[in-house]
């Protein structure tokens, strides 16, 4: 059951933020201080994503888990099993801070875990089947959530590519820019 739910959320993960974005734009109450704080949080999240995608490549944009057959344990994956989702969480939190809609932050936090926990469990099951003992060793050392302060001792041969990361993240950059612009624009319209 969790596997099916996780696979469904995995396929829809690019679209599930849309209702929250609409709420953030509609209810936004712009504060220049919170705009600055939110942008900083959002940038940390996006930098984590760029770092992760620079190692994992375009596989992170797939719609099917069967496309990921190689375990990446280099770069941010040496410190966290899910750096992309950590980055997504920080981007989402940054958007909520920018919008200055605190009840939405709580909703996003709950929705984030309701969506990503089944995805993560489903991905872990898939990687267990694909990578076997190598993945089991990785699971024992690198945390599912949060960060490990010492790098995983058996890094994969993946190398960082900034050009690959920037190319892969171009849609994310555009989406973030659009959402922040909409929040600022609609907040200004409410004031005038």
Q: Is residue 78 part of a domain?
A: yes
Question: Residue 66's domain spans which residues?
Answer: 2-13+23-191
- Expressed in angstroms, the distance from the first to the final Cα of the chain is 50
- Alpha helices, DSSP H only, in 28-161? 32-56, 83-99, 102-131, 133-141
Q: Is residue 18 part of a domain?
A: no
pLDDT digits (tens, 9 = 90+) for 127-179: 888 888 989 999 999 999 888 899 998 888 989 999 999 999 999 999 999 99
Q: Is residue 41 part of a domain?
A: yes
pTM of the shown model: 0.88
pLDDT digits (tens, 9 = 90+) for 22-48: 999 999 999 999 999 999 999 999 999
CATH number of the domain to which 171 belongs: 1.20.120
Q: Which of helix, strand or coil describes residue 192?
A: coil
Q: Is residue 108 part of a domain?
A: yes
SS3 content of the chain, % helix, strand, coil (to 5): 75, 0, 25
* The two three-digit tokens of residue 42, written as one number: 């959002």
């Amino acid at each position: 059951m969790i596997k099916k739910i996780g696979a469904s959320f995995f396929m829809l993960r690019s679209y599930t933020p849309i209702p929250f974005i609409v709420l953030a734009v509609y209810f936004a109450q712009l504060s220049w201080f919170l705009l600055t704080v939110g942008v900083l949080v959002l940038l940390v999240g996006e930098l984590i994503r760029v770092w992760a995608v620079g190692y994992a490549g375009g596989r992170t944009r797939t719609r099917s888990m069967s496309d990921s057959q190689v375990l990446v344990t280099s770069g941010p994956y040496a410190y966290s099993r899910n750096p992309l989702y950590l980055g997504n969480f920080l981007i989402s939190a940054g958007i909520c801070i920018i919008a200055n809609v605190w009840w939405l932050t709580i909703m996003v936090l709950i929705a984030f875990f309701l969506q990503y926990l089944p995805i993560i469990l489903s991905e872990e099951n898939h990687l267990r089947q694909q990578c076997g003992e190598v993945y089991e060793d990785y699971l024992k050392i690198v945390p599912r959530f949060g960060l490990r302060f010492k790098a995983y001792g058996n890094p994969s041969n993946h190398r960082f590519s900034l050009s690959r990361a920037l190319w892969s993240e171009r849609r994310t950059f555009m989406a973030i820019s659009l959402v922040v612009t909409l929040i600022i624009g609609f907040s200004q319209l409410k004031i005038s």
